[in-house]
Amino acid sequence: MLIDNTLLLRKTFPKVREYYRENEEILDQQSIEVMESKTGIETIRFTTSDEKALMVHSLYDPMREAERIITSQKDSIKENTHVFFYGVGMGYHIEKFQELYPNHTFSLYEPIPEIFQSMASHRSLNQLITDNTKQLYIDTHLMSNTDYLGEFLSSNQAIHLIVLPSYENIAKNKLQLFHENVKSAITNRRSKLHTDASFQKLWVMNSLVNFKEVLHTPNMVKDIECNNFQGKPALIVSAGPSLAEDIEYIRHIKENNLAYIFSVGSAINSLVSYDILPDAVCTYDPGKLNHKVFEKMVAHGINDIPMLFGSSVGYETLEKYKGPKVHFITTQDRASTYFLKDELKVEEDLIIDSPSIAVMTFQILNKLGASPIIFAGQNLGYLYDRLYSEGIEYDHIQSTMEKEQIEKALTTEDVHGNMIKTSHGFNSMRTSIEEFAKAYNGTYINTTKGGAKINGVPFQPIEEVLKNVFTESLKKDEEWWNQQNKYDQSGIAVQKDFLGKSIQKFHVTLSDFNELLRNIEKYTKLKNNQGIQNGLVKFDTLYNKLNENDYYRHFLSFYIRVHVEIMAGEIRRLNQEKDVVRKGQEIVKLLSRFLKHCKEGTKELEEIIHNTL
């Protein structure tokens, strides 16, 4: 590697330099041949592991090829597009990109470290690594390098991928894995943003409104006697379409006290239809229509089943159900984690917010020591073109699937080894169960015929479970839920007072931000670099002060979390911006939008806090 390139990497991307320093001697340079093209420009011939000799660039005219690659992408490169190059090679296409788009940022990824090493031994990196080069990723061969996913997970810019065409053959398997990783990352990010946008306000509002219920009900994992459940079988009954097939077996389990039955979500409607009452109904959905799940139960006058509720559940659910209640604190609950912070141990007492109530209940039963934990009706896929079991119909949700929806659905393996249709949501639930099953490492059984295969939760038909597992009746405490919580509430008043003072300080900080915004805007218009720079330093100070404010940190930042995440991502991007005037212009636009969301959010949130606390 040329000495100037070594110095440049040490300065700009020290991790890359360190990798080559430690591994330069062991990289397989026998697979690389640097040679002259017909136009006299250097190109590379790469020999694959199966002895195929492939050209990285044209053997005839690499520069013309590079121009053709970049010009073919012109319709996809807009004003603010960030370009991600997969395959650096000799870097000719990257040079051409900079020539045509001198103001655009870009990142580089080289999956074959030997190629980058050879290039850096023949060409100056100054032509590739500039102020606009945001990241340089090198596959190290030592481990799976997925650092690049950070860009796709956190950037708010449009990212356009340009693959050097030869790498579709040279790095075929790596490129396929790269595409799969990026697709998965983007899908997960979109799903998270959609979930956050839908529920960010409800999570905070519900936790504040429900806090009085939390203070007057027992905590399932702190106050309920573990001996009631430890070492005893527990059946999680979900609302999947397979439930109808097993309903008589569940009736037998109930009548003979063979297991604790926890009905999750909509399953209660099927159970009520068949006159089977579970030991608990479980709910956590923060949505405003969640209470409709229990309308049939309420209409039948059933008010003696304990409702196990997540503390950020839709508050209407708790208002409408008059029976006994037991709570668990979710990681989305801002009120309980703030006012009872000294009473709660994060790992032991909080239930991690998950894609379904079945997953939340699974966590709780593991913490209580129930064994084995058995799933019924947990299809996590489509069966008989239905989402829900028979006996479950809603006005606001379809129970059956349209043909077009099924055709577009994903596929996954079922418990019998067949492929079935599923959705991103169901897939997320399945992987979540798998992760917790691995973490808790208990004894689990999946009885769902035709349901998705769940790694770590082996399938066993419910008929066999009745023979081999449910061998004796349990001696149940019929009022296991009838306990008092043990929260020390003496510090809540002090916390409330401190929160009120934090709200006042927050408004002072907002005023300071408004004044700063006017100053940066003024200096930006004057192109006064020093004035802008001073403003940016003040911005960092105020932004840190904002993030240390109790009200913002514990409540408002969660109430407007999508905008907070966008703000954080943009700040990370702008920290790499070298042009002070451009940075000032971007900060003005960014801060204006952010302050608007802060003002709108706090107006709503302060009213909720006033009415609930």
Q: What is the pLDDT of residues 205-236, one digit of tens each?
A: 999 999 999 999 999 999 999 999 999 999 99
Among 118, 152, 170, the domain-final residue is 170
Beta-carbon contacts of residue 237 (< 8 Å; ≥ 6 apart): 243, 250, 261, 262, 263, 264, 267, 271, 278, 376, 377
pLDDT at 445: 98
pLDDT at 545 over 60: yes
Q: Which of 179-193, 201-215, 264-278 has the lowest mean pLDDT?
A: 179-193
Q: Are 65 and 148 members of one domain?
A: yes
Question: What domain range is 233 assigned to?
Answer: 208-327+345-468
Are 315 and 209 a contacting pair, CB within 8 Å?
A: yes
- State the Cα–Cα distance between residues 197 and 524, nearest whole angstrom: 33
Is 465 in contact with 447 (CB distance < 8 Å)? yes
CA angle 184, 553, 429 (to 5 degrees): 30
Is 476 a domain residue? Answer: no
Does one domain contain both 136 and 267? no
Q: In this structure, what token pair is assigned to residue 335? A: 């009120």
- 457 and 538 in a single domain? The answer is no
pLDDT on residue 49? 83
In CATH, what number is assigned to the domain containing residue 376? 3.90.1480
Q: Looking at residue 290, what is its pLDDT?
A: 95
- How much is the average pLDDT of 141-152? 80
* pLDDT (0 to 100) of residue 360: 98
Q: Tokens for 255?
A: 């009548």
Choice among 9-18, 70-79, 396-405, 533-542 with the minimum mean pLDDT: 396-405
In a domain, 70, yes or no: yes
Q: Given this model, what pLDDT does residue 228 score?
A: 94
In a domain, 142, yes or no: yes
Whether 24 and 133 map to the same domain: the answer is: yes
Greatest extent of the chain over all pairs of C-alpha atoms, in Å: 88
Q: How confident is the model at residue 440 (pLDDT cuts 50, 70, 90)?
A: very high
pLDDT of residue 402: 63
How far is 148 from 107, CA to CA, in rounded Å? 9
User: 135 pairs with which residues across the strands?
Assistant: 107
In tens, the pLDDT along 393-425 reads 545 455 555 666 666 678 999 999 999 989 888
One domain for residues 412 and 310: yes
What is the average pLDDT score of the chain?
92
164 and 215 inside one domain: no
In the chain, the percentage of residues whose pLDDT exceeds 70 is 95
Confidence (pLDDT) at 399: 52
What are 191's two structure tokens?
């799903």
Integer Cα distance of 293 and 283 in angstroms: 9
Tell me, yes or no, whether 568 and 522 share the same domain. yes
Structural domain count of the chain:
3
**Within-domain flag for 356:** yes
DSSP 453: P
Residue 458's SS3 state is coil
Phi, psi of 47 (to 5 degrees): -100, 120
347 vs 502, more confident:
502
CA neighbours closer than 13 Å in the CB half-sphere of residue 215 = 16
Confidence at residue 91, expressed as pLDDT on a 0 to 100 scale: 96
The predicted-structure confidence for 97-127, as pLDDT tens digits, reads as follows 999 999 999 999 999 999 999 999 999 999 8
